[in-house]
Structures are given as structure tokens and as C-alpha cells.
Amino acid sequence: MGKYFGTDGYRGEANVDLTADNAFRVGKFLAYYFSEGGKKECRIVIGKDTRRSSYMFEYALSAGITAAGADAYLMHVTTTPSVSFIARAEDFSCGVMISASHNPFYDNGLKVINGNGEKVSDDFIEEIEAYLDGKTGEIPLAKRDKIGRTVDYSAGRNRYIGYLISLAMHSFKGRKVALDCANGSASSVAKAVFDALGADTHVLSNTPNGYNINDHCGSTHIEALQAYVRNSDCEIGFAYDGDADRCLAVDSEGNLVDGDMILYLCGKNLKKKGQLQGNTIVTTVMSNFGLYKVLDVEGISYEKTQVGDRYVYENMAEHAYDLGGEQSGHIIFLRHATTGDGILTSIKLMEVLLEEKKSLKECLSDYKKFPQVLENVRVTDKALAESNPAVQEAVKKVEEKLGDTGRILLRASGTEPLIRVMVEAEKEESCKSLVEEVIAVMKKEGLVQA
């Protein structure tokens, strides 16, 4: 990816890596680019999460957009998938979500979404980064009647809520459900949806104050929801991340149900109804080996992409598959959305339980999650460490030992000088010893930082 934009937008610490001036310039570029230099009307929809800095970036982004002659429509606090939905449903030129997802409150980011509700292309990122680095001409400011305007568009969030409600095929009446909103974007949407569907809704971490987003809550701190469900008579709990494009679940006993398990249950249900396009689920290389074993039993095919919901979506769009996602809880239902949507995922999982007339634990009785050990090894050169013949030979030996009872994955970090060594096997002790074998070879070859 680019210098500023990673797989999930322009992200960093607010006013350190990402400043209000950066946001202003991004706004100017978007307005100029999508209006084709002021030749046509340009409308850009903006959403934000609950971080203190999101207000600053909303105003700076809007100022850049309007200064360059386009109109900025403000959805205010809302979810990333709602911005994606509105961008395509209301024919906007593009959308921007101000969020750093699961990061702490002092970080923030700008996720740019095209008019089809998709993350923008690498070519687009190259152009915007060239402008940010001053490698292209300065964008002229609009004058007189060409100056843009800001529009309150909280109605867009309400339309999205209505859309989610319309997708549910069953009433949730009488079902006691816990929702952990991470003190983030889901706070403005999730309870309204579940209440409208008739659930007895219990909400956690639903009082954002600008600083408490993802703070010991939400999908990255699932223990809060686990404890609540375990000590109540809720039958299920859902946890979202800061911008609500992820969802993890817990069963009535507080056991974690991750993205792989959700993919399995939803894929199995879709196949049963004859609705699993291509009889295939798209996963990433980080999905648990247990998912592939149980999909083999069910006769469901799967694809594996590199890590990132963007790559999952690209594979799905290319082959017209309708279900894919990540272990972390980014689940894409392509018939209904072009991005991961945590609240949509929770609706779909609820419907599986209602149709199967079983508890979440019962539905997963045949799923065996393989133990996994992952070690991050700080190296002097990622490329050399990955391509080193002795390391490759060590990985090959581990593969031979595991056969079809597990797997090893060697992957370079995209942002740090790290090599991730991951092994999944039937026993955790085996995972640890095999990971240590590979790391020992890396040390012997002088690849590990002292």
C-alpha cells in the first residue's frame, strides 16, 4: 500500500501522523478529483466515530471539500458500513469515514469509499498521495457561487437503520440479546435495530465520551461481554469494534465465537437453503485450520486471500461469491453490503439460530478450533528472513511433520520489522515446539535482531 494509506485508509495518531491540515488537503483532493476539476457536481458523504478528534477532522475535511467547490453531507456519528451503504444507495461521488477502527482513542483515520461503496483503488491512492507530497499542482480554491456547502444528513443514518431492519426475515421477539457497542459508532445504531426487531436488548459500553472508545470493551476486549452474558440469562452476545464493521459473538456460557465460526454457521445455513453462491466461502490465510476441516466435511469450498477485508471483498467481487470474511470478525454478505458490517453480521447469525431452532453452542457442536501459537520475531530484514533457504527448509520440515493435521504460516508484517511465525496443530504443545524450531533456525542464520 501507500506512504500514508494502508489497507484501511490513512491512519495514525491524531495531530501527529494525521493532522487537521492533512484532512483539509484530502478534502480538497476528493472534491477536485470527483468533480473532474470542477466540471460536474460533486457530493461527498462523511461519517465519524466517537473519538474526540473525529469532530476536528470532520470540520477540516468538510472545509477542504467545500473550499474546492463540492458539497459535504454530514451523517455525524455513524458506522463505516452505513457510509458505504449511503454512498452507493444515494449516488454520492464518494464517502469518507473518520475512524481508526479498533485503535485507541488518540488515533484516528480517514477511510475513503468510492461511489460503489468500495474501498478506493491503489491507483487512486497513488494520486492522492502524490498531491499530499506536493508532487502535483496545487488545487485551486472555488470562488463566489462555486464554493460548496455542508448539509446535515443524519437522515442517512436513519435510512441505513431502516435498511438493516428490512433485511431481517424473522422477529427477535422474546430473545434476550447483549450488545457491546465499544463506546463507538454502534452506539448510534445497534440498539435501535435490535429493539425494532423485537429483541430484549441489553446494551454495554454505549456511553461514548470521546476517550473511552475500545477501552476495555468491544470486539478487541471481548472479556467484558463474556462476563456479562455468563452472569445473566442472555442467550447470545455481540461485540462490535470502534466503527462497527466487525462483529464477534459469545454463546450463553460466555464462550467466544470468532469470525471463522460465524462464517461456518452462515455458510452452512446458506448452503442448506441453496443460496451459497459458488458453494464457496472466501477466507484469509489467518483463518483457523479447524474452519477448513469442518468446511471439508460439509462439502463447502473455500478461497484464501492475504489478510485484510479489502482482499476478501476483491476476491468475492471477482468470482461473484456472496460470503467471506476474517477471523477478526469482518464478515461480508455481498448480497447486502460491500464491506464488513458488524450489525448486519449479528442479524444474520441470529437468523441462523432461529431457523435451526438451536442455541449457538449447539450449532457449533461439530466445530473444533485448532490450538494456535503465533510468535512475532523482530528481524533485521523481512525480505531476507522470508527468502532464506534454511528458514524455508525449516518451514518445509514442519509442513511434513504436520501433514493434514495442521499448518504453518510464515508472514511478514506490513508495518513493522517483524516476521510472524504461526503454527496450528491438534495440540498446543506441538504448536509451541514447531514454532520454536523455525525461530531457532532464524537465530542461527543471524536474521533476528539482537
**Active site positions, annotated:** 101
Q: Is 54 one of the annotated binding-site residues? A: no
**DSSP code of 20?**
H
Interatomic CA distance for residues 326 and 324, integer angstroms: 7
> Is-contact 184 48, C-beta < 8 A?
no
User: The dihedral of CA 227, 232, 233, 237: what is its sign?
Assistant: negative
> Is-contact 121 113, C-beta < 8 A?
no
> Is-contact 12 107, C-beta < 8 A?
yes
Please write down the long-range contacts of 129-133, taking CB distance under 8 Å and 24 or more positions apart: 129/2, 129/3, 129/4, 129/5, 131/25, 131/29, 132/4, 132/22, 132/25, 132/26, 132/29, 133/3
Q: Is 101 one of the annotated binding-site residues? A: yes
Interatomic CA distance for residues 242 and 213, integer angstroms: 6
Interatomic CA distance for residues 203 and 145, integer angstroms: 47
Q: Is 245 one of the annotated binding-site residues? A: yes
Q: Residue 37: which residues within 8 A CB-CB, separation 6 or more?
A: none
Residue 165, SS3 per DSSP: helix
Element holding 372 (H helix, E strand): strand 372-378
Give the cell for residue 449.
Answer: 535482531
- Nearest CA among 191, 198, 146 for reference residue 170: 198
Residues 33, 77, 327: CA angle, nearest 5 degrees: 85
Q: Is 241 one of the annotated binding-site residues? A: yes
- Nearest CA among 384, 398, 294, 277 for reference residue 333: 277
- Nearest CA among 145, 156, 142 for reference residue 91: 156
Interatomic CA distance for residues 406 and 136, integer angstroms: 50
Q: How much helix, strand and coil, in percent to the nearest 5, is found in the chain?
A: 40, 20, 40
> Is-contact 76 187, C-beta < 8 A?
no
Write down how long the chain is: 450
106 alpha carbon, distance to own chain's centre: 19
Residue 242, SS3 per DSSP: coil
Can you say which residues are annotated as belonging to the binding site?
Answer: 101, 241, 243, 245
Residue ranges of the annotated binding site for Mg(2+) are 101, 241, 243, 245
